[in-house]
A and B are shown apart, each in its own frame.
Chain A
């Protein structure tokens, strides 16, 4: 490593590749040292591979007056500067000698000649030509007389020798590349010769001695070192210049890359660093998988238009580019002219395109834009110069490309994260919208209101004009609309106005779509969501009732999104979303939101339904509670009568024991026992009802053959004691039943009692009994399960007809419930616990029959009917079998 420190900074001359002023001083010194009249230095010019004379100097006394005056001795004046040469090989004695010589200066100044008549500045000599070319070839110092020179060489540039001075001797010495000098220039050179020094003597001097050749060689070694130092310094300057530019480029794109700025920087950088005739900047986008030529210079002509309208290509159409950038991933340097054309024929693809025809270029350079292992583009350069790009220049260019690659990628990343941020924000917003939507629906516990809110929320969430919620009908035959939201307002009218709303809901509920067996059933089973297109809609319309057809056709469905709303695995309903006349498909994030809200709605709907059921159950319980209260009042009232009889008669017996007759005692006693029986029956009834209420306990039956007529007569006798009305039995005596005789008697008694209670005192009560079969009975009272077995069971039908006030239609079902009696004020009492019909029905059903209110006409009377399994009369007819 060698460093030269010069006393003052010389102005940097870009045009010259050699240190002219330094050479002048060295030449002056050499002229003095060798006692020469003048001399010149030729330096190797790489571009023409010749030695070119750069400097010619002569003693002023020997110089022509004209020429010398203009170039006075200012050159010499500054020569006393201290020069330190520090070489790795310090054996050189050059510095000592230099100092010694400098003291002899200034007697006859030596000046530069621009227009010497021989060896003029600018003259060029190829290898071997003339004295300079000869020295070059010989590669050693040479001393020669002028006469020998004239005879040996054919001087090119100085014929005839009409000289301002006639030299007599010449001394030449090669300036060789110092072997030990730092190998700064790695490029292979045509010659290791930096230049030639030529000295001459004029007049009749003693001439140059042969031994002076060695000294000359020592001197030229020094010159070589100076030149080399200068070159190193230039290289250093250049490198720092590159570094500055690279720094500028890397600082230019911290977050965003404007392509035009980038291109401009690349252009400026490249043209400053190397010789280029054409440039092509290509980018590859991984997302679109396309190649973009974004900038080109075609033989010095910029194509900025590409920035706006890049040339777009697919990787397949540029296989070579693809191979070089994506597989080899190395800088590609081609020296086209010096190679046979065939060798680089395969690269032809690279030499054409957006930057014109580059096949005439001498040098081609492709720099891949590498980002880790990926290649995101390339920068291609061409030069009309051969070997235009030196390794260190390529290194600098590679660095530059690396920097812009990182910049571009950073900018892309930044852009991506910004987009991700925007997306995240949008997501956050839609989540917030969904959250409030969910809140809106989860806080409602009224099913109808909830459904209205649900469809409205959904429609607003995805900006659909219509949203409808369907529920499966009982038996899953159809879908029935429950709520519609319509942005245009034609169909919807959620929760506004009382009576109008009911009417509106009735209308909505007329919209029925076929489900069982239709495409809907299949799709609902298989899909989380699906679309109905107009063909499917038409298919559904064909199978729909009027309401469904109106909905399907008049809402102009092109594409309707259907989302089955499931709670766990069970279908709660179906959400249908569409915009009339629109073909809209929903985006994945919209579908996600809809599915989420549907899931939430499913549980909200289920909760609301449960809540309503609980409310109904609660209301039912309250009703039951009230009935129970009423029952207690009634029952205690009922209990009072037999209790009064018992306490009255027993106190009478006690009080009148002295005067009472035995006949009277018997009568009073039987009154007491009858009242006791009545009391006992009431208590039994109540206990039975309470027992049945407890989890439908299986009743303890003791069935056997019972003759219907006998049972009816018994009941009739019992009831007749306490009633005024007349009971008529119309029953054939051959009808036998299979049942529990005790229960049958209780049923009959109850029915007769009821008939009497609700009839006027002179009313008639008729009991009929007939033998028939199950299939002959009224359809709605037949137990289909038993009929389905293919057996038509024999039954007996019993009807109890009264002429009472009848039962209001709204009460006809209720009367079979526990504790319910046909309504009356307490002021017009009907005796009975209110348990009668409930108990009767349960008894009959337990014995395999049915009991129902056959008819009831207000003011005319009611008919209660029941049937029980009928059997043939037992062969041994005996009175013991009677109940």
Chain B
């Protein structure tokens, strides 16, 4: 789970742990990349707007890396964010803010 906002980050951790998933969190793109390379994560939640390496850049790096490109990516976005920009990314799904727990489960389940 990659997000610069600690509130969203902590909440995602709480939600997913209750559902029985194991989750690790990163504050920005670089941190996430480091974790992706050291752990065998299956799926990435990432916020598109982040300081430092943003979500788009992170997607591009994941796509370019042969070891990482098989990972599923779900992007967190606000309704006002540029969806066209999101569509150009190699991602699997979009989770729109604000959301309820069921939204998270529904988005996640097809890839489990």
What are 6 of the A-B contact pairs (CB < 8 Å)?
A: A637-B78, A656-B18, A668-B14, A674-B7, A829-B50, A829-B51
Q: How far is the CB of B43 from the nearest CB of chain A, in Å? A: 18
Q: Cα distance A502–B5 when bound, in Å?
A: 50
Q: Does B37 sit at the interface, judged by CB under 8 A? A: no
Residues of B within 8 A of A724 (CB): 27
Looking at the complex, which one of B5, B54, B80 makes contact with A828 (CB distance below 8 Å)? Answer: B54
Q: How many contacts A-B (CB < 8 Å)? A: 83
Which of A581-589, A647-655, A837-845, A849-857 faces chain B?
A647-655
Q: Does B99 sit at the interface, judged by CB under 8 A? A: yes
Residues of A within 8 A of B98 (CB): 640, 643-644, 646-648
Looking at the complex, which one of B15, B48, B78, B79 makes contact with A827 (CB distance below 8 Å)? Answer: B48
Residues of B within 8 A of A637 (CB): 49, 78, 80-81
Q: How far is the CB of B111 from the nearest CB of chain A, in Å? A: 20
Q: Does A606 sit at the interface, judged by CB under 8 A? A: no
Residues of A within 8 A of B35 (CB): none
Judging by beta carbons under 8 Å apart, are B8 and A647 in contact?
no
Q: Which residue of A lies closest to B49 (CB)?
A: A829
Q: Does A1 sit at the interface, judged by CB under 8 A? A: no
Judging by beta carbons under 8 Å apart, are B49 and A671 in contact?
no
Q: Cα distance A675–B98 when bound, in Å?
A: 12
Residues of B within 8 A of A674 (CB): 7
Q: Does B10 sit at the interface, judged by CB under 8 A? A: yes
Q: Does B84 sit at the interface, judged by CB under 8 A? A: no
Q: How far is the CB of B95 from the nearest CB of chain A, in Å? A: 10
Looking at the complex, which one of A636, A656, A675 makes contact with B80 (CB distance below 8 Å)? Answer: A636
- A-contact bits for B49-92, CB 8 A (1 contact / 0 none): 11100111000000000000000000000111110000000000
Judging by beta carbons under 8 Å apart, are B54 and A651 in contact?
no
Q: Which residue of B lies closest to A651 (CB)?
A: B100
Q: Cα distance A134–B55 when bound, in Å?
A: 163
Quick one: which of B8-28 are within 8 Å of A by CB? Answer: 8, 10-12, 14-15, 18, 27
Q: Does B102 sit at the interface, judged by CB under 8 A? A: yes
Q: Does A633 sit at the interface, judged by CB under 8 A? A: yes
Judging by beta carbons under 8 Å apart, are B11 and A649 in contact?
yes
Looking at the complex, which one of B7, B49, B50, B99 makes contact with A675 (CB distance below 8 Å)? Answer: B7
Q: Which residue of B lies closest to A675 (CB)?
A: B7
Residues of A within 8 A of B101 (CB): 648, 651-652, 654-655
Nearest 10 interchain pairs by C-beta: A651-B100, A644-B98, A643-B98, A829-B49, A651-B101, A647-B98, A644-B97, A640-B97, A640-B78, A648-B11
Judging by beta carbons under 8 Å apart, are A828 and B99 in contact?
no
Using known A-B contacts A633-B80, A636-B80, A651-B102, determine if residue A827 contacts B56 with beta carbons closer than 8 Å.
yes
Chain B interface bracket (under 10, 10 to 19, 20 to 34, 35 or more):
20 to 34
Q: Cα distance A654–B78 when bound, in Å?
A: 23
Given known contacts A640-B98, A643-B97, what 13 new A-B pairs fall within 8 Å (CB)?
A640-B79, A640-B97, A641-B97, A644-B11, A644-B99, A647-B98, A648-B8, A648-B11, A648-B12, A648-B15, A652-B11, A652-B15, A671-B11
Q: Does A259 sit at the interface, judged by CB under 8 A? A: no
Residues of A within 8 A of B10 (CB): 671
Q: Does A722 sit at the interface, judged by CB under 8 A? A: yes
Residues of A within 8 A of B8 (CB): 641, 644-645, 648
Q: Cα distance A403–B89 when bound, in Å?
A: 113
Quick one: which of A643-698 are within 8 Å of B by CB? Answer: 643-652, 654-656, 659, 668, 671, 674-675
Q: How far is the CB of B29 from the nearest CB of chain A, in Å? A: 11
Q: Does A769 sit at the interface, judged by CB under 8 A? A: no
Chain A interface bracket (under 10, 10 to 19, 20 to 34, 35 or more):
20 to 34
**Chain B residues engaging chain A, CB cutoff 8 angstroms:** 5-8, 10-12, 14-15, 18, 27, 48-51, 54-56, 78-82, 97-102
Residues of A within 8 A of B11 (CB): 644-645, 648-649, 652, 671
Looking at the complex, which one of B14, B18, B82, B99 makes contact with A826 (CB distance below 8 Å)? Answer: B82
Q: Which residue of A lies closest to B6 (CB)?
A: A722
Q: Which residue of B lies closest to A827 (CB)?
A: B54
Judging by beta carbons under 8 Å apart, are B51 and A828 in contact?
yes
Judging by beta carbons under 8 Å apart, are A652 and B18 in contact?
yes
Q: How far is the CB of B6 from the nearest CB of chain A, in Å? A: 7
Q: Cα distance A826–B48 when bound, in Å?
A: 10
Q: Does A573 sit at the interface, judged by CB under 8 A? A: no
Q: How far is the CB of A828 from the nearest CB of chain B, in Å? A: 6
Residues of B within 8 A of A668 (CB): 14
**B49, B79, B82 interface centre (most CB from chain A within 10 Å):** B49
Q: Does A619 sit at the interface, judged by CB under 8 A? A: no
Judging by beta carbons under 8 Å apart, are A761 and B27 in contact?
yes
Q: How far is the CB of A723 from the nearest CB of chain B, in Å? A: 9
Q: Cα distance A827–B85 when bound, in Å?
A: 10
**A636, A646, A651, A671 interface centre (most CB from chain B within 10 Å):** A651
Judging by beta carbons under 8 Å apart, are A647 and B7 in contact?
no
Q: Does A642 sit at the interface, judged by CB under 8 A? A: yes
Using known A-B contacts A722-B6, A827-B49, determine if residue A655 contacts B102 with beta carbons closer than 8 Å.
yes
Residues of A within 8 A of B78 (CB): 636-637, 640
Residues of B within 8 A of A675 (CB): 7
Q: Which residue of A lies closest to B82 (CB)?
A: A826
Looking at the complex, which one of B5, B18, B50, B79 makes contact with A641 (CB distance below 8 Å)? Answer: B5
Q: Cα distance A724–B51 when bound, in Å?
A: 13
Q: Cα distance A724–B56 when bound, in Å?
A: 24
Q: Cα distance A668–B55 when bound, in Å?
A: 27
Residues of A within 8 A of B5 (CB): 641
Residues of B within 8 A of A671 (CB): 7, 10-11
Q: Cα distance A643–B7 when bound, in Å?
A: 11
Q: Cα distance A655–B101 when bound, in Å?
A: 8
Judging by beta carbons under 8 Å apart, are B27 and A826 in contact?
no
Residues of B within 8 A of A652 (CB): 11, 14-15, 18, 101
Judging by beta carbons under 8 Å apart, are B100 and A648 in contact?
yes
Residues of B within 8 A of A761 (CB): 27
- B-contact bits for A347-378, CB 8 A (1 contact / 0 none): 00000000000000000000000000000000
Q: Cα distance A826–B78 when bound, in Å?
A: 12
Q: Cα distance A55–B48 when bound, in Å?
A: 155
Q: How far is the CB of A457 from the nearest CB of chain B, in Å? A: 54
Q: Cα distance A308–B22 when bound, in Å?
A: 129
Q: Which residue of A lies closest to B54 (CB)?
A: A827
Q: Which residue of B lies closest to A648 (CB)?
A: B11
Q: Cα distance A659–B54 when bound, in Å?
A: 36
Q: How far is the CB of B56 from the nearest CB of chain A, in Å? A: 6
Q: How far is the CB of A755 from the nearest CB of chain B, in Å? A: 15
Residues of B within 8 A of A655 (CB): 18, 101-102
- B-contact bits for A729-747, CB 8 A (1 contact / 0 none): 0000000000000000000
Q: How far is the CB of B55 from the nearest CB of chain A, in Å? A: 8
Q: Cα distance A652–B103 when bound, in Å?
A: 11
Q: Which residue of B lies closest to A668 (CB)?
A: B14
Judging by beta carbons under 8 Å apart, are B15 and A828 in contact?
no
Q: Cα distance A826–B54 when bound, in Å?
A: 10
Q: Cα distance A651–B30 when bound, in Å?
A: 31
Q: Cα distance A722–B55 when bound, in Å?
A: 21
Looking at the complex, which one of A633, A640, A647, A659 makes contact with B100 (CB distance below 8 Å)? Answer: A647
Judging by beta carbons under 8 Å apart, are B99 and A648 in contact?
yes
Looking at the complex, which one of A642, A654, A659, A829 makes contact with B7 (CB distance below 8 Å)? Answer: A642
Residues of B within 8 A of A651 (CB): 100-102
Q: Cα distance A761–B14 when bound, in Å?
A: 24
Q: Cα distance A827–B49 when bound, in Å?
A: 5
Residues of A within 8 A of B49 (CB): 637, 826-829
Judging by beta carbons under 8 Å apart, are A647 and B99 in contact?
yes
**B54, B100, B102 interface centre (most CB from chain A within 10 Å):** B100
Residues of B within 8 A of A641 (CB): 5, 7-8, 97
Residues of B within 8 A of A647 (CB): 98-100
